[in-house]
Structure 1
Amino acid sequence: MKKLSLIVSLILLSIGLLGCQQNNNEKVDNEPSDNEPLDTKAEVIEEDFVYRLVTEKAEYGKNEPIKVYAELEYTGGKGEIEIFHSASPFSFPMVETTRNYEIGYGMDEPLLRTKLIKGEPLRAEYRGSGGYDSEDKKEYIDFIRKIMNKKFPEGRYVVNGIANFYIIASEETEQEKKYNIKAQVEFRVKNSN
């Protein structure tokens, strides 16, 4: 009986170990291949607003200027509407997926108002970003310094764009209606040799 129990235990252990083995021929990262097309344009409609996020190219050369912009268009029933926001209604935080580095997007937070005319998009371009803490690793600090100097290192970047603003939904009650519209585009930076 002990012999049978030992054999069954060895079989179960062998099955468990075989289940844990990993096929080393499989690609385990989630990084798309260089041939896979990237999403360079995104459009999100939320009620009376259309938010667009665009990168002008899917692939940029190393140290080439990155051209990303956002648009917000009012499509509602009025001829115009006023929105309230921080320094800009747009932010452009990113993730560099090859190294898995987050690239923050800081912004001043005064309360500004902007008038949107129906059918005329408000547009803003990405002008740079990034920041680091003294406790961050040297590799990350070096990477972010390049980004802050608008010299993007080779890699794949995902822009997690946001249009963040509010409107006065009711003039009588001054009730606010908040919007936090998100879209995503991506691009690569490659050595242009």
Structure 2
Amino acid sequence: MKMALSVWIAPLILLQAACGAENAGNENVNRITDFQVISSHSESSEADFIYRLSTDRDQYTEGEEIIIQAELEYTGEAETIEISHAASPFYFPLREETRAYAVEYPMNEPLLITKLTRGEPLQERYAGSGGYSAEDDDAYIEFVQNIMKKQFPSGYYKMEGYADFSAINADGSSTPYKISATIDFMVAPKN
């Protein structure tokens, strides 16, 4: 009797688990409608610098290329100014809100110098990011691997980007800056 009962229970557990996994995927898709895109373009300024962060659209579909661009523009009195920074002055950390997944933006940290010309923005496109450890759950690892390849799964994304650099003053001293802006966008599932 115990053997017959366990033969029926095992398939029921598997069926219930499969339905739960399917519903979990649908739950993320359904939760997208709980969010509304506020701004696909954002701009902040500090002293003689303007930082801009933008994406070309409010909504994408899974599989479409998502273009995100950052700009840093010098607006001061001098014709040019030098800034020091890590591998790039631009950071692109993001968060997918329906899953509550944060994706960091790690960067090499050499000390590089870039010359900015007044009125000519320095631009960089987002090229994917992320990292994970063996202790992270499989769903998060798969999600980050997709983001690293710029293959965004469906969801509602917020990017709190920033430019982190130091302006090199005429006397050789430097003034640090960290100027941030936030954008958001949706990625709808393929039908």
Extract unaligned runs of 5+ from structure 1.
1-30
Aligned pairs (5 A) from 1:144-159: 144-159=144-159
> Would you say the 8 A contact 2:97–2:157 is kept in 1?
yes
Matches for 1:1-193 after TM superposition, within 5 Å:
33=33, 36-171=36-171, 174-193=172-191
CA distance in 2, matches of 1:143, 1:113: 34
Q: For the Cα contact (< 8 Å) 1:168–1:175, is it kept in 2?
A: yes
Superposition deviation, residue 34 in structure 1: 6.5
**C-alpha distance in 1, partners of 2:33/2:142?**
26
Query: Over residues 123-142 of structure 1, what are the superposed CA-to-partner deviations in whole Å (9 max), with x where a residue is unaligned?
Result: 00000101101111111111
Report the residue type matching 1:59 in the other structure: Q
Q: Give me the whole-angstrom Cα distance separating, in 1, the residues matched to 2:35 and 2:96.
A: 18
Preserved contact between residue 85 and residue 113 of structure 2 (Cα < 8 Å): yes
CA distance in 2, matches of 1:143, 1:107: 20
The residue that corresponds to 1:25 in the other structure is none
| Superposition TM-score, scaled by structure 1 size | 0.79
TM-score normalized by structure 2? 0.80
CA distance in 1, matches of 2:32, 2:41: 17
2:129 and 2:148 in contact (8 A); partners too: yes
* SS of equivalent to 1:144: helix
CA contact (8 A) 1:84 1:113 kept: yes
Q: How far did 1:42 drift?
A: 0.4
1:167 Cα shift?
A: 1.4
Measure, in 2, the Cα distance between the counterparts of 1:153 and 1:141: 13
Tell me how large the CA RMSD over aligned residues is: 1.5
Distance 2:167 2:79 in 1: 15
- Identity of aligned pairs, percent? 46
Secondary structure at 1:142 match in 2: helix
Q: What is the rounded CA distance, in whole Å, between the counterparts of 1:32 and 1:79 in structure 2?
A: 46
